[in-house]
Amino acid sequence: MAGGTVTLESLVAWLARFAELMAENRSYLTELDSAIGDADHGSNMARGMAAVMAKCDATPSAAVDELFKQVGMTLVTSVGGASGPLYGTFFLRFGSAAGPLTELDAAALGACLRAGLGGIVARGKAERGDKTMFDAMSPAVDAYDTAIAGGAELTDAIAASAAAAAVGRDATEPLVARKGRASYLGDRSAGHLDPGATSTAFLFQSLAEAVA
pLDDT tops 80 at residue 150: yes
pLDDT grade for 2, boundaries at 50, 70 and 90: very low
pLDDT tops 90 at residue 205: yes
Domain extents for the chain? Answer: 5-211
The pTM assigned to this predicted structure is 0.94
Return d(Cα 90, Cα 133) in angstroms, integer: 11
- Average pLDDT rounded to a whole number, residues 123-145: 92
Write out the CATH class of domain 5-211.
mainly alpha
For residues 96 and 114, the answer to whether their CB atoms sit within 8 Å is: no
Return d(Cα 103, Cα 105) in angstroms, integer: 7
pLDDT tops 90 at residue 107: yes
